[in-house]
């Protein structure tokens, strides 16, 4: 599939998903709600995950260094994949396509598909829970909020988030099988 064909498919999807994006975006326009999603989105940009990787050996001892390294390697692979996909798919962000959708926080890059925040959140969560399942109470809600924040803030379509989650899951599970 070439870039032109991908853009045609995305234009059709954008028309269908636009109303759902607008609904989520409007729900997040209350100041307090928007602030929560902005903070979650910024933390999900790496700060939370880097802090987790640093904290694991401090909390669990030197045996957790392997888990942190594993997460770091998965993060690097995910970054390469999502940047390549974005360069190929070139899907505009919802706020760029639908004038009624308000941008809640500046994007890190130009394109929407897939959601890199969600991709990383899902991959990191799966790897971390493999080693430390007791962290599920923290990581599962946080990863879910990161994914939701991307739609609420007008940065991604639901399919961007679902694709990011799927790629993150695939990378994490493949990494765990080695």
> What secondary structure letter does DSSP report for 111?
B
Q: Domain with 155 in it: what CATH number?
A: 1.10.606.20
What integer pLDDT is reported at residue 43 of this predicted model?
94
pLDDT tens digits, residue range 24-75?
777 777 778 888 989 999 999 999 999 999 999 999 999 999 999 999 999 9
Enter the pTM of the model: 0.89
Is there a contact between 118 and 112 (Cβ–Cβ < 8 Å)? no
Specify the number of domains making up the chain: 1
Beta strand segments in the chain, E: none
Structural domain that includes position 146: 3-176
Q: Is 20 left (phi over 0), alpha (psi -120 to 50) or beta?
A: alpha
Handedness of CA 70, 39, 135, 53 (dihedral sign): positive
């Amino acid at each position: 599939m070439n870039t032109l064909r991908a853009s045609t498919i995305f234009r059709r999807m954008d028309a269908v998903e636009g109303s759902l994006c607008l609904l989520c975006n409007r729900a997040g326009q209350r100041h307090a709600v928007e602030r929560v999603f902005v903070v979650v989105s910024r933390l999900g940009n790496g700060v939370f995950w880097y802090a987790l990787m640093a904290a694991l050996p401090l909390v669990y001892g030197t045996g957790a260094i392997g888990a942190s390294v594993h997460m770091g390697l998965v993060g690097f692979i995910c970054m390469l994949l999502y940047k390549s996909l974005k360069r190929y798919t070139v899907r505009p962000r919802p706020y760029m396509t639908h004038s009624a959708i308000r941008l809640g926080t500046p994007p890190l890059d130009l394109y929407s598909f897939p959601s890199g925040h969600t991709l990383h959140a899902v991959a990191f969560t799966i790897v971390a829970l493999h080693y430390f399942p007791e962290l599920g109470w923290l990581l599962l809600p946080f990863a879910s909020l990161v994914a939701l924040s991307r739609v609420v803030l007008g940065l991604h379509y639901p399919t961007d988030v679902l694709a990011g989650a799927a790629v993150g899951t695939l990378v994490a599970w493949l990494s765990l099988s080695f």
